[in-house]
Structure 1
């Protein structure tokens, strides 16, 4: 009988170890949580929003315009921003209007869609791609231009330069905490 109890404990221990390894692999390679730090993505995301990052998506597809991505800004810090410009494109903002290759592009995500009071208007200072670090006239292959939704309070491509697709950790589109903000983000 003690042999059966010992085998039962051994089996449960094996199951626990396998489940732990599986959970660690999922977190490392597929999905992981992230907490928004700061106001740079308001009004879309707020400080302390908790989200799930899809880490494998860009192994099978390329980033698309307006994806919200997490990328390595440094070895110690990851940032969350929105993809605005893609390889081969020219980006500029003039009078708060986004132009891609000279054509006006709507940015509906900058509009307030909830009951949170607007603390400050969303204003993007005028810039052209040539004015950003690197001085490119077109976004090179393998890079994207990212901006925070809170354009007046965001460290993004305007100061960091273009972001290598290799720096991107993944895409996020699900807020799971706080409970009153649970929802999928629209592209």
Structure 2
């Protein structure tokens, strides 16, 4: 085999694999615009009626709204809490630092089903009714370690002399945090 043909053959295998991975999605789309009520070929015709029914369904729209509310709320809370804990871990030395890191990343190790059952048992023991709030708390618990690890990694490359220079020039810590630290770590928070 010549060395010139090897990259083109590898590219062919790559694109073949990508096509194989996307083939089920393409077939699913084809069946979604099929006028026939069963999944069969040949197709009787094309229709967007199934999508119209989907958008007219109140239950589907409520579910989509609930999903967006939970996603927005839990990601905002996880970002805020994860950033605060990351600042604490990166900036300060204290005895329970290892324990805090272990507890913060524990949801990455525990399977999601076990975590969900544990939260269900906790909320039941506390007599908290299941609602969007409890779902949001569960999603926050799952998202928090990702935020924490990404922000800690960003803070590891952050020069603390920038903070010291801002404070030497008269800025208090909240101002330094808002005008120096947060703009530098903002890409990690997003």
Rg comparison, structure with higher value: 2
TM-score range, shorter chain: under 0.3
* TM-score, normalised by the number of residues in structure 2: 0.21
Task: Kindly indicate which of the two structures has a greater share of residues assigned to strand.
Answer: 1
* TM-score, normalised by the number of residues in structure 1: 0.22
Task: Kindly indicate which of the two structures has a greater share of residues assigned to helix.
Answer: 2
Structure with larger RCO (C-alpha < 8 A, sep 6+): 1
